[in-house]
Amino acid sequence: MPKKLSDEYYLMHKDIPVCLMEIDEDGRLGSVRRNESALAHFPLGGQMNNMKFHEWWRDRAIPRTRHGAKNALQKLGYSSTESALVNNLALSLSDCYWIRPRGEDITWQDVNLFSNDFVDTFGDLTINRDHIIDLRSKTRFNCATSQGELQKKWCIAQDGRRYMIKGNYGDSFQQSLNEVFASELHEKQGFENYTPYMLTRVKVDGNVEGLGCMSYDFCSEEIECISAWEVLQTVKTKQNESLYFPLKEACLRLGISEREYTAFLDYQILTDYLLTNTDRHMNNIAVMRNPDTLEILGFAPIYDSGNSMFYNNPYEKMDEIRLSEIRTHSFVEKEVRLLKYVQNREIVDIKKAEMDFSIYEQDVSERHIRIPKLKQLYSHKLERLEAFQKGVDIWKTKKYY
């Protein structure tokens, strides 16, 4: 069983204590006493009130719904993902927050994952249930926090760079292939603010070799990531309203210009539309910040585009897909209605959006029959985008239903 640590912890931002909090052995947060002299360093998502801070803490843990999480918890002896979070000092490769047990004399440099070796044992178990590979000598501190529900693990390259490996749902490799396909689209567009993904070999259930994807961490000790979900906790929102304008309000308050906000979201909405990315929720958009000066540095590179290209549509149902009825987890429920927010319809060069689909030949052989359907559906999306760029509000026009 993991060693039980003290029930009082300082939440630290690097070496700045921002509050003292009580945490029980299952990782549940109790009372919180804020450091009034360091309020600016308190997590953005928890600044409004203690309820928001409790939500920020819960959101920091690995989702219980992540594939393989239950199995990994059992093997590592944790009662919950929250208890795993506490045992690993709530360290992350996305920001510079962590927890220091009261009475222990440890510093940021002693424990941070950007400069200290680690093994993401939890991630290893969720990808390779029966096959653990230690990439570096194991230390006391493992990596226990990353968002998302797919199997994931953090690793250290020979040159010291941190990178994440992601797996897939089910027997297909399409989600990983989609990430690389999306990277190729951004590269063809000449758009620089995206996260490049590359294919990699991984061991999956039963010690079978499969395809995953990898990407290098865009965060460091000088750059941390704050999700749009967290940014939204700084403004009041109305129930069932679109979060596009509240997010805009919050970003402008932080110092992002209206021009930057509009240009980034215009591009992301249009490329997500082409890719049929149905998972651009508020944890899949983020801004970057300097953790020392607290200066907002702009939007984080586009990431997590794997839930796209009809990855979860059965082949026999693909002819029944109505492009005007696609549902998405984003600012609004219907994908096509996201286009209403776009101000610069020409921000994506449609001539540079023709894509090579041969990458999908690397999926398992029985999925190859899907490739002509993917080409056809993508072609229909291109036709709709071309009409949209010519001034047609395609969400109003029955021709495009």
* 241 in the same domain as 340: yes
- Residue 70 token pair: 């239950």
- Residue 50 token pair: 């203690």
* 330 in the same domain as 242: yes
Residue among 184, 129, 117, 124 nearest 157 (CA): 117
CATH number of the domain encompassing residue 354: 1.10.1070.20
* 19 in the same domain as 158: yes
* 133 in the same domain as 65: yes
Q: Is 243 a member of any domain?
A: yes
Q: Is 203 a member of any domain?
A: no
* Helix H or strand E encompassing 248: helix 244-254
Q: Is 2 a member of any domain?
A: no
The angle formed by the CA atoms of residues 160, 297 and 233, to the nearest 5 degrees, is: 105
The shares of helix, strand and coil residues in the chain, as percent rounded to the nearest 5, are 40, 15, 45
| pLDDT at residue number 69 | 46
| pLDDT at residue number 400 | 64
* pTM strictly above 0.95: no
Q: Is 171 a member of any domain?
A: no
Domain residue limits at 68: 8-166
Task: Walk along the chain (401 residues) and give the pLDDT tens digit of each residue.
Answer: 444 444 899 999 999 999 999 998 778 889 999 999 999 999 999 988 889 999 999 888 754 444 444 454 445 445 455 667 887 888 999 999 999 999 999 999 999 999 988 865 444 434 443 333 333 333 333 443 444 444 788 888 888 889 888 888 878 899 999 999 999 999 999 999 999 999 988 766 666 678 889 999 999 999 999 999 999 999 999 888 899 999 999 999 999 999 999 999 999 999 999 999 999 999 999 999 999 999 999 999 999 999 999 999 999 999 999 999 999 999 999 999 999 999 999 999 999 999 999 999 999 999 999 999 999 999 999 999 999 999 999 998 777 65
* 134 in the same domain as 33: yes
Q: How far apart are CA 358 and CA 376, in angstroms?
A: 14
Residue type, position 352, single letter:
K
* 252 in the same domain as 336: yes
> Which residues on adjacent β-strands are paired with residue 154?
164
* 83 in the same domain as 155: yes
* 240 in the same domain as 102: no
Residue by residue, what is the 3-state secondary structure of 354-385? Answer: CCCCHHHHHCCHHHHHHHHHHHHHHHHHHHHH
Q: Is 187 a member of any domain?
A: no
| pLDDT at residue number 119 | 66
Q: How far apart are CA 73 and CA 352, in angstroms?
A: 46
Q: Helix and strand tally (H, E) in the chain?
A: 10, 11
| pLDDT at residue number 60 | 84
Q: Is 147 a member of any domain?
A: yes
* 240 in the same domain as 347: yes
| pLDDT at residue number 260 | 98
| pLDDT at residue number 226 | 97
Last residue of one domain, picked from the residues 140, 166, 192: 166
Q: Is 206 a member of any domain?
A: no
* 95 in the same domain as 232: no
Q: For tokens 């000790």, what's the residue?
A: 221
Under 8 Å between Cβ of 266 and 342: yes
Q: How far apart are CA 350 and CA 352, in angstroms?
A: 5
Q: Is 124 a member of any domain?
A: yes
Query: Three-state DSSP class for 107?
Result: coil
Domain count, the chain: 2
* 239 in the same domain as 159: no
* 134 in the same domain as 275: no
* Helix H or strand E encompassing 212: strand 208-216
